[in-house]
Structure 1
Amino acid sequence: MKNNNILELCLAHGLGGLEMFVASCYEEFSKKGRCKVVVAPQSKLDNYLEINDKFSLKRNKFFPFIPALQLAKYIDENEIDIVHFHWSKDIVTAVLAKILSRKKPRLVQSRHMGMTRFKDDFYHKWLYKNIDMIHAVTQQVQKQLEKFIPAEVRPEIAMVHLGVKAPKIDTNKVAELRQKYQLQDTFVVGIVGRIEKGKGQYKVLEAVADLQEENIKAVIVGAFMDDKYAQELQTYVKKLGIEQQVIFTGFTKDVDVHMQLFDVNVLATENETFGLVVIEAMANKIPVIATCKGGPLEIIDDGVDGLLFDGSVDDLGEKIRLLHNDLHVKERIAQAALKKVKEKFDFTAQLDKLYRVMK
């Protein structure tokens, strides 16, 4: 198989599943050949990637030719064969750079979000005509792409689920955190991700408040994306009277270590496209309760290797209560989840599959 020079492009400023996938692609593709990465300067992804070989590029919404010219020059200087981009807002920069470069690299987009409207106007047809392949992270996303992008300009579409590494757990760190957060003899409900309303942390808080007769605590892992919402959520904790049952850890790179504190991990997003945190929890042998929409439907067999809830606080509370009260069910689900993630969502296997279809 020919080795291609790959460029990973992401000018987003957050550090969620999409950006972490960029880091994963860079890490794995660098083992197979030459791989470069382009990020926004001083972005969270820029700070997360502890490598010297990064090219910084500022997105320009109003004058996209400026960053596109810089990117085109970088593509030609580094003889890039494939530009792999992830953030939908980077599409214009990527397409213009391809057109302006001498190299004319193959353009591949990993589509992490669903598509909800037709792309049949002249502008979008021009954009998609210049993309060579779209990687859909779920079957649902693949169907949406086939529905909303006109056939005459639709790029090749390949569906490859995301994967996750087998966790390496520092048991001493886990013990230290358990002591720090005073979680001994406590049933821990965890939720991991950016703290914003759409991620549904408030549902976990309400469910824990409804289960106050049980010895349950909520551990919320992630960074607040908005100071105003941070204040609102912390005020809500006080209103619910559960200050002693809620721990906000802030952002951490040690997600696996924190997951080891959990008895159950919740994905409460209204409609998550995939849900990387779901398979991360499964790899940690932690039962998952996830909203029964979007990506979790392609990951979880309800009642077998995870639990799906209808999005309501009442149903979430019932699912938490089930795992709290029946340790046999909890252990059975955890074992089945670990087995499935090894078979279907292995990090190296999935990225190797993506690497092959990209070329």
Structure 2
Amino acid sequence: MKSKKILEVCLSPDLGGLELYMSRCANELSKEFEVSCVVSTTSKLKDYITTLEKFEIKRKSSFSIFSSLKLAKIIDDKNIDIVHLHWTKDIPIVVLAKIFSKKKPKIVQTRHMTMTRFKNDFYHKFLYKNIDTIICVTKALEEQIIKFIPNKIRPKTKTLYLGANEVELLNEKEIEAFKGELKVENSFMVGLVGRINEFKGQYLLIEAMKVLKSKNLDIKAYIVGHAMNEEYLDKLKQMLKDYNLEAFIKFVGFTKEPYKFMQACDVILMTSKNETFGLVTIEAMKNQTAVIAANSGGVLEIIDDRETGLLFESGNANDLALKIEELYFNMQLKQTLAKNAKIKVDECFDNNKQFEKLNKLFEMI
């Protein structure tokens, strides 16, 4: 008999690593617990939750009393023991729902975003004293939580890395066919996966490709992900025109099969300014593809420079170009990095191992 009832909550309208991690949590935790899910009526995430009970709430703002009351009713109707939230902007709604509910469930937050300022005002004291546990996706993030939330109201903290799923490796013929669809031909293939917004740093790849094109290197780059901001996407496309790179950089859009894309690439980039963790990084490592990443944020807990990947100076397109060029000319290094990365991700960032730890944590709460 499943012992606890867990409500997974994510009212974000977007579809990226955070949202997809919520659906993975729901599916994995349902093996040990009774799990229901709550998503936004406008969410792209709802299509990924197909086998579990799912509720939809219309979310107008982080302070919607209507949303909180509706969530409280779900909590009481389903007799929920733990509400597990992922999007920081959902905290007020979830806390108010706890207060409005008769059940008064414990609140657990998996925090994916950095914390940069003190939370010692009345508003944050009210929120955080109602949260039982914050699961931090990096050690650096847990240190921030301890630094910025006063001890008297600070929830319990625990570092638990995200994990990457085991993947089925494509054979050479399948990879060639996939490359054919993308018209890669024999070019060195660079990939960048993630939602398209300025924080993710797609513009750095374009600037780096401008440098590499000036050296007449046979490189093509592909950007995977949906645009959060059409204005930013238009700006990137204008850069391609201005630099005459339209034949060398393609926008692929969102894909449900990122593993195929990653395996086809010679290298996957992580160009975010200060990524808290970087799920794409460990997924690329799991797919045995070399990674070049910015030397900031959670990446520093994942990549050992020149052993399991290459690090470039964050925000420096010229340095990024140099690292891509290095792997272009040194296939042996590229293969060694990919091999070492797979060993590390299997040891430290394996999906099954991380969810075993998450299950044990929820058993104790």
TM-score, normalised to structure 1, is 0.96
Q: C-alpha separation between the residues in 2 aligned to 1:158 and 1:253?
A: 31
| Alpha-carbon shift at residue 47 of structure 1 (Å) | 2.9
Contact 2:62 2:89 in 1 (8 A): no
SS in 2 for 1:260: helix
- Structure 1 residue 234 and structure 2 residue 237: aligned? yes
Query: Equivalent residue for 1:177?
Result: 178
Structure 1 ranges of 4+ moved more than 6 A: none
Q: Give, in whole Å, the separation in 2 of the partners of 1:116 and 1:313.
A: 26
CA distance in 1, matches of 2:41, 2:168: 30
Are the counterparts in 2 of residues 173 and 257 from structure 1 also a CA contact under 8 Å? no
- Shift of residue 60, structure 1, vs aligned partner: 3.9
The corresponding residue for 1:189 is 190
Tell me, yes or no, if the aligned pair for 2:62 and 2:92 is still in contact at 8 Å.
Answer: no
Asked if structure 1 preserves the Cα contact closer than 8 Å seen for 2:40 and 2:56, the reply is: yes
Equivalent residue runs for 1:1-359 within 5 Å: 3-51=3-51, 53-61=53-61, 64-169=64-169, 171=171, 174-212=175-213, 213-311=216-314, 312-358=316-362, 359=365
- Distance (Å, rounded) in 2 between the aligned partners of 1:19 and 1:227: 20
Give RMSD over aligned pairs: 1.6
Q: Distance in 1 between matches of 2:248 and 2:63?
A: 49
Q: In the TM superposition, what is the alpha-carbon distance from 1:177 to its structure 2 partner?
A: 2.5
Instruction: Please state whether the residue corresponding to 1:242 is helix, strand or coil.
Output: coil
AA in 2 matched with 1:19: E
**SS state at 2:264 partner:** coil
Q: Which moved more, 1:179-188 or 1:124-133?
A: 179-188
> How far does the alpha carbon of each residue in 1:140-169 deviate from its partner, in whole angstroms, 9 at most, with x for none?
110110011010010000000100101124
Aligned length: 359
SS of 1:244's equivalent in the other structure is coil
Name the % identity. 45
43 and 344 in structure 1: CA distance in 2 versus 1, 3 angstrom threshold: same
Shift of 1:175: 3.6
CA contact (8 A) 2:85 2:110 kept: yes
Letter in 2 for 1:23: S
* Local SS of the residue matching 2:274: coil
Deviation of 1:183 after TM superposition, in Å, equals: 1.4
Q: Is the 8 A contact 2:41 2:59 kept in 1?
A: no
Residues in 2 aligned to 1:129 and 1:294: alpha-carbon distance in whole angstroms: 27
Q: SS of the residue aligned with 1:243?
A: coil
Deviations 1:316-349 (A, max 9, x none): 0111111111111111110000000000001011
1:190·1:264 contact (CA, 8 Å) conserved in 2? Answer: yes
Quote how far apart the aligned CAs of 1:205 are. Answer: 1.4
8 A contact 2:35–2:53 mirrored in 1: no
2:21 is aligned with what amino acid? F
CA distance in 2, matches of 1:205, 1:62: 35
Q: Which amino acid in 2 is paired with 1:95?
A: V
One-letter identity of the residue aligned with 2:87: W
- CA separation of 1:63/1:307 partners in 2, compared to 1, >3 Å: closer, same or farther? closer
Quick one: distance in 2 between partners of 1:98 and 1:151? Answer: 22
Return the TM-score normalized by structure 2.
0.95
Deviation at 1:278, TM superposition (A): 0.3
Q: Residues 282 and 334 of structure 1 are in contact (CA less than 8 Å); yes or no, is this contact kept in structure 2?
A: yes
What 5-or-longer segments of structure 2 have no aligned partner?
none
* Partner Cα distance (1:2, 1:28) in 2: 13
Secondary structure of 1:355 counterpart: helix
Cα distance between partner residues in 1 of 2:341 and 2:63: 47
Deviation at 1:244, TM superposition (A): 1.1
Q: Distance in 1 between matches of 2:140 and 2:128?
A: 19
Q: Is the 8 A contact 2:2 2:33 kept in 1?
A: no
Whether the aligned pair in 2 keeps the contact of 1:60 and 1:66 (CA below 8 Å) is no
Superposition deviation, residue 2 in structure 1: 7.1
Letter in 2 for 1:120: N
The one-letter amino acid paired with 1:184 is E
Tell me how far apart the structure 2 counterparts of residues 131 and 180 of structure 1 sit (CA, whole Å): 48
Rounded to whole Å, the distance in 2 between the matches of 1:250 and 1:307 is 26
The answer for unaligned runs of 5 or more in structure 1 is none
What letter matches 1:254 in structure 2?
E
